[in-house]
Amino acid sequence: MAYPTVLERSHVLPLLPATGGPTSLPLTFLDLPWLFFHPSRRIFFYDYPHPASHFTAAALPHLKSSLSLALSLFYPLAGHLHAAPPRRPTISSSPTTAGVSLTVAESDDDFHDVSHNDDARWSAQRAARRFRHLVPALASCRGQQQEQATPVMAIQITLFPASGFSVGIAYQHVAADERTFNNFLKAWAAFCSAISGLRGQYPADSTPMINPPVFDRSIIREVPALEQRFLHDWWKHSYRPVQSDTLDSTAVRSDTLDSTAVRSTFVVGPAQMELVRSWITRHCEANNGLALPVHLSPYVLACALLWVVRLRTHFHLPPTTAGKDESESNRAAAAAAVEGPSYFGFIAGGITRIDYPVPAAYFGNCVGFGRAEAAARELLGEAGILHAARAIGGAIKRLDRSVLEGAEEWVAEWREMAESDGLHIVVVGSPKVDFYGTNFGWGRPRKVEEVSIDWTGAVSLHQSRDVAGAMEVGLSLPTAKMDTFRRLFKDCLVQILK
């Protein structure tokens, strides 16, 4: 696979200097936990069946100028993160340093194959390395007094001549949750659509209806104990942002990650969710009237299915050419692990759960960390989906009562899950965020991919493009494990039908 050819690199500045808010934005206690995690890396694929010359003349200028307009509103995204201990982490977006790195590249890869959901016409599995070079690196730099500063966001637009283009965005979750990021995307797309419709002209009286972000940090009420806990953890371990040049750009621009990893997307639709619901109901009725799980929302049903299948994939022991002693040793280790707990981690929206009003346009993070727990042996048993649904539903109910309950352990718990190599499952993304509504003027995205799961081992979960009420589940796994997951996913649904 040939890497995309870089056509140009530029620095896009906000069209207007930041107004209506501070140029230095401190992190709230809800932002601070994200200092410990990898940046989000997301790709949006768009159909554009025109020659390269047409794209560079007609589309690219509009994408650039509208990006400049959007950054004028969401100017912290054009800033830098300063997070070196012992100073309090902040985002700085001063007029002299603000801007976003924009890379324009061209790829000879098969656009329709790389941007398609699983389909008989295209590869069911695609090599993960085909996606990693469609997102940019977030390389750190040195600012005043040699303090390390890391860009909040970087963008790469990759052209697939006569087929389409992709918009790859790397951004630091510590600056913005998915709701905020989606608000920025919608602003950028609205500006671009308006400019395209006006053939490049943009009179002042034609501004699209865009709700400007709210930067007032006092909206998030301080919780000093949590703030000090997160800062202490950050300073104690002397963590640099995982987005630093030594960790991030090297990984993105090489094949140091698993070269056998493949990506695949599974759509869990309303029909499959209803099958899971019906099976749970029948199972409870057939077993002396067991109580139903407290919360059987579509999200819980889809996640329960995902948790069970992913855990079964982890413990699946395919035929091996290893010697008898080694094979028995592997099985003994797996049997011992089954005795322990399995965790399911997810992101919980905070705007509807926190006990004071937070506007939807608030800029920053307003989410909590959820973690469900169940015995691995129970999840692997006949009633695994029931136990999974009961655990996830219970965790959501606890968050509904108090989204900050147990927050002091968020970082430790999530690091434990991230380092488990399959025993624990982490889901990123939300089916409530409409990324497929991001239309720059040439139609909705053909496909949205969350590339950061290559680094984190998490599973992505997003709203489906084509099936109302469905969810797209994205995975990045070694080929053998992906084959196992695909088979067990189908087997699980077949068993539910019985």
User: What is the reported pLDDT for 93?
Assistant: 82
The average pLDDT across 119-139 equals: 80
459 Ramachandran zone, left/alpha/beta (phi>0; psi -120 to 50): beta
pTM score: 0.90
Please name the amino acid found at residue 158.
T
Torsion of CA 313, 318, 323, 326, to 10 degrees: 10
Q: Is residue 371 very low, low, confident or very high in pLDDT (cuts 50, 70, 90)?
A: very high
User: What is the reported pLDDT for 216?
Assistant: 95
Question: Coil, helix or strand for 489?
Answer: helix
Please identify which residue in the block is written with the tokens 């993160």: 81
Measure CA of the first residue to CA of the last residue in the chain; give whole Å.
44
User: What is the reported pLDDT for 332?
Assistant: 60
5-252, CATH topology level: Chloramphenicol Acetyltransferase (3.30.559)
Contact 411, 330 (CB under 8 A): no
What are the counts of helices (DSSP H) followed by strands (DSSP E) for the chain? 15, 18
User: What is the reported pLDDT for 252?
Assistant: 34
Instruction: Give the pLDDT confidence of 294-344 residue by residue, as tens digits.
Output: 889 999 999 999 999 999 998 874 443 344 554 555 556 666 667 889 999
Considering the chain, what is the average pLDDT of its residues? 86
pLDDT-wise least confident of 129-143, 191-205, 463-477: 191-205
Structural tokens at position 487: 């088979």
The average pLDDT across 356-371 equals: 96
Please name the amino acid found at residue 254.
S
- The per-residue DSSP string of 321-379 comes to -S-HHHHHHHHHHHHHHHTSEEEEEEEEE-TTTSSS---TTB-S--EEEEEEEEEHHHH
The yes-or-no verdict on residue 117 having pLDDT over 90 is no
Contact 223, 404 (CB under 8 A): yes
Closest CA relative to residue 134, chosen from 163, 103, 177, 178: 103
Instruction: Count the alpha carbons within 13 Å of 73 in the hemisphere toward its beta carbon.
Output: 25
Percent residues over pLDDT 70 in the chain: 83
Question: Coil, helix or strand for 185?
Answer: helix
Alpha helices in 407-452 (DSSP H): 410-418
In this structure, which long-range contacts are made by residues 232-240, counting pairs with CB atoms below 8 Å and at least 24 apart in sequence? Answer: 233/36, 233/411, 233/412, 234/32, 234/35, 234/36, 234/83, 234/85, 234/89, 235/85, 235/86, 238/85, 239/35, 239/36, 240/83, 240/84, 240/148
5-252 and 261-497 share one fold: yes
Question: Coil, helix or strand for 234?
Answer: helix
The average pLDDT across 162-169 equals: 98
Contact 255, 131 (CB under 8 A): no
Question: Coil, helix or strand for 263?
Answer: strand
User: What is the reported pLDDT for 320?
Assistant: 39
The average pLDDT across 221-237 equals: 90
Q: Under 8 Å CB-to-CB from 209, ≥6 apart: which residues?
A: 190
261-497, CATH topology level: Chloramphenicol Acetyltransferase (3.30.559)
Instruction: Give the pLDDT confidence of 63-115 residue by residue, as tens digits.
Output: 999 999 999 999 999 999 998 777 789 999 876 678 999 999 999 999 999 99
Q: Domain ranges in the chain?
A: 5-252, 261-497
Q: Under 8 Å CB-to-CB from 402, ≥6 apart: which residues?
A: none
